[in-house]
Amino acid sequence: MAIATLIAAGRLDDRLIDRALGSLREIDPTAAFAAWVDEGDAVDLRVAGDLKSIRWALQGLPETDVFVQPEENRFKRLLVADMDSTMVGQECIDELADFVGLKREIAEITERAMQGKLDFKSALRERVAMLSGLDEDSIKRCVAERVVPNPGAATLIRTMRVGGAYCMLVTGGFVSFADPIAKLLGFNSIRANRLIFDGRQLNGTVEDPIVDAQAKHDALVEMRGELGLKPEEVVAIGDGANDKLMIEEAGLGVAYRAKPALAEVADARLDYHGLDALLWAQGIRKRDWVSA
């Protein structure tokens, strides 16, 4: 038996629920209302059938994020999250490029890499080389002035931590950004790339090994093993092509405002709500959220 969670904050009414049940009953005639997670915001429906078929049946509900998963292990014990354009609203390297007047050029490379049209490692090295000579103070200013967490990020992490989950930030970005962001939001640990400096200036290179799609996947598998968890006890969230392997590996892989290359392989998409909606997907009522 599966739980299909509909999330339409402030708009979820009987009409939308009945529409969803009508679609589900083409798969399972016994599909039914299970319970409100939060009335008017998120609801659980109970349905039997193949998870992909259930997701397909619920496509097209207006401005509604849908999560379909087994009833068991609904609260995840490990969260693995991407940083750029997921936990924060920016691509940090693009913002850093603005300090050397190269934001447009570097952002174009970033976009193609996130679409899966460029090799990630080569694209990263190319962009870092363009930042050669940038001083350390500019990086600190960029973090302080340009990088802003996405809505619901801190509430998601803090609530999951209180519930006993381990939260890991895994990014193809840089330690200089990931470390302060992780501390701000409450992550347990990070995996990120390390820029190399000559004194206080970037020398245009990045330390090996580079955190790419495979490294993100491997970090998830490694931490899952350390914690003694089953695959279905893991949730991963990201937005770009370099998140694809970890999204596929997670028991619940979530695409956040994602590029098509990632959205097509994810178990769920978060297109309309903040990151804290992942708490509703895990059955956690708003009264139990730990607000930032």
The pair of three-digit structure tokens given for residue 143, joined into one six-digit string: 């973090």
Among residues 82, 94, 239, 243, the one annotated as catalytic is 82
Q: Return the CATH number at 19.
A: 3.30.70.260
The verdict on 95 and 189 lying in the same domain is yes
Among residues 41, 44, 65, 84, the one annotated as catalytic is 84
pLDDT digits (tens, 9 = 90+) for 184-211: 999 999 999 999 999 999 999 999 999 9
For this structure, is 84 an active site residue?
yes
CB 244 within 8 A of CB 262: yes
Query: Where does the pLDDT of residue 168 fall: very low under 50, low under 70, confident under 90, or very high at 90 and above?
Result: very high
The verdict on 116 and 51 lying in the same domain is no
The verdict on 140 and 213 lying in the same domain is yes
Domain count, the chain: 2
The verdict on 219 and 235 lying in the same domain is yes
The verdict on 138 and 278 lying in the same domain is yes
Is residue 265 predicted with pLDDT exceeding 90?
A: yes
The pair of three-digit structure tokens given for residue 197, joined into one six-digit string: 């400096």
What pLDDT shows up at residue 290? Answer: 97
Q: Return the CATH number at 251.
A: 3.40.50.1000
pLDDT digits (tens, 9 = 90+) for 77-132: 999 999 999 999 999 999 999 998 999 999 999 999 888 888 999 999 999 999 99
What pLDDT shows up at residue 286? Answer: 97
What pLDDT shows up at residue 30? Answer: 97
- Let me know how many helices (H) and strands (E) the chain has, helices first: 12, 12
* Rounded-to-integer distance, Cα 280 and Cα 288, Å: 10
For this structure, is 119 an active site residue?
no
Which residues on adjacent β-strands are paired with residue 236? 80, 253
What residue numbers bound the domain in which 58 lies? Answer: 1-71
Q: Which of 51, 71, 91 is the last residue of a domain?
A: 71
